[in-house]
Structure 1
Amino acid sequence: MPSVAPRAPQKSGGLPIVWQLCDRYVLLVGGGEVAASRVVHLAAAGAHITVLAPAQGLHPDVRAWIEDGTIDTYIDDKYCDPSQLVRTNGHDYDMILTAIDDAERSRDVCAWSRARRIPVNVADVPDKCDFYFGSMIRQGPLQVMVSTNGRGPRLARLVRQQIEAAISPYAGDAILRVGVLRAQLRAQAPAPALASERMMWMARVCDAFPMRALARLDDATIERWFSSWLH
């Protein structure tokens, strides 16, 4: 019987990925409410954040994050020229975001960034975005993003709220403890030949216990489980 070709995936949006920004340098042009929401995401990702915006009109949260060091560098100025889009050492930023009301200047930032192959996001202008910010759920290492690919941010928020209501409040802690368990298992039995067995054992553990129990895993229990598995 001839094999049936798999159905071709339908083009429906962007590629959902987790962008590693830890210790990367990001420029945020703007200091209002939208900029404040961007800082939340960037800080959680461990980025080095530079904000370019006049002091007058700064969102209170942005001002507080400048004062406490969450924002690494603050430039009290309005964007006027591409020379402001380069770090003080002459190097490019790893990412540039704009959250300002000036559409013409936002387009200039986008064009300059793309010419330099720097990923750019212009708030509320989908065709000027190389990536989107979705509606996020965060619980420790757990991240869930809902994106409408720039089509309906309000609907993304509503869907996110429905998903969030279904997630156990212990999920984040459970993932942290399972991560410890997995790392120690690999350290105790690192041989590639044991990879399949390790994976099956971890799957059985995750399936056998509720989130609440996994969140409360202590080191003594982990050690006891290891002894049982190794012997």
Structure 2
Amino acid sequence: MTALLEIKDLRAEISGKQILNGYDLVVNAGEIHAIMGPNGSGKSTLSYVLSGRPGYEITGGQALLNGADLSEMTVDERAAAGLFLAFQYPLEVPGVPTMTFLRAALNSQRKKRGEEELSSPELLKRIREAAKVLGMDPEMLRRAVNVGFSGGEKKRAETLQMMLLEPKLCILDETDSGLDIDALKVVASGVNQMRSKDRGMIVITHYQRLLDYITPDVVHVQSAGRIVRTGGKELALELEATGYAQYQSEAA
């Protein structure tokens, strides 16, 4: 198998406080990894460090995407290299129509990779096809990015971005947060359509219910800034029954 993401003894801090403490993880192409753990265990911090969010500083170890050191890449370089982060709480962008945003995001990445920009007809075709899969009202594409969107609409819009950008590594940070069961099924369907032998995914979640619809190949338990146990999909069911208390004591 081809290692898509390799994290080796990664340590990271924010505002002088260390959050990741010797983090190790390998995600091969074609795999979906679920990361579960209690609040404060550093799950979102991992996603921010990998994506290059300002203020999150790597103090040791490394994270490699297709062999390239992420710490040496700018945020836009990471995106062009194929890293995508779906936020727990997608941001609103007043004044920028969703269609305009999608065109700029897709073509800027293509330009960064030395590819030709898509023509307007081709871009529109791709957007409409993806929106149909997600059951999105075309009118949403004319509205400002996430402004006035419900929680489900925001997650649909973000999944639409992911489907258009076709990243190599998708990181879903608590995508199930704020979704009712119908919206969860639609978003999960879009994610599942992106499963590919050439793509890896990290699904960060507190709860088993998301994994009823996005079946992981590997499940990790994270506590105190590192992975403390790894298993198959049955581990998520065990966590649902027993909780995280034993792992918090192990990591202490």
| TM-score between the two structures when normalised by the length of structure 1 | 0.35
Higher-strand-fraction structure:
2
Higher RCO, 1 vs 2 (CA within 8 Å, ≥6 residues apart): 2
Structure with the larger helix share: 1
TM-score, normalised by the number of residues in structure 2: 0.33
